Amino acid sequence: MLSTELRDAALAFSHALREAPAVADYVAASTALAEDPSAQQVMLALQGPQASYLRTQQAGLTPSQEQVDQLRRCQAAVRANEVLMNHLRATNTVKKFLPVAAREVSASLGADYVSMIAPPSSC
């Protein structure tokens, strides 16, 4: 069981992290995406052509013009969807922010925060 002081510090950290602009924007963008079935459909429509294109490339083959055209159409639909673009931007921003936050926490703790929260490695 956590000490009251440690519990309070963990709660304060989680609240501060959630209120950081990058995290708040990500949460808002994720909520908007979850509430927009048309944006979800556009993203799902991209997955099939994208997977097909990648499988072809990984097999050492050149994707067909139809595969290229279909992928480009789906990518254009994603770029045209404001909810998806906001989510992608917010995701990229939070990916840059979290390592910075982890470094700051490590500096404050005087220990490597990332290694402390990492799951144990298995043999």
* 19-47: pLDDT as tens digits: 999 999 999 999 999 999 999 999 999 99
Structure tokens at 28: 């808002």
pLDDT at 5 over 80: yes
CA 115, distance to chain mean position in Å, is 21
**In the chain, where are the structural domains located?**
19-111
Q: Which residue has the tokens 């910075």?
A: 100
- Encode pLDDT of 43-87 as tens digits: 999 999 999 999 999 999 999 999 999 999 999 999 999 999 999
pTM above 0.85, yes or no: no
Helix (H, G, I), strand (E, B) or coil at 67: helix
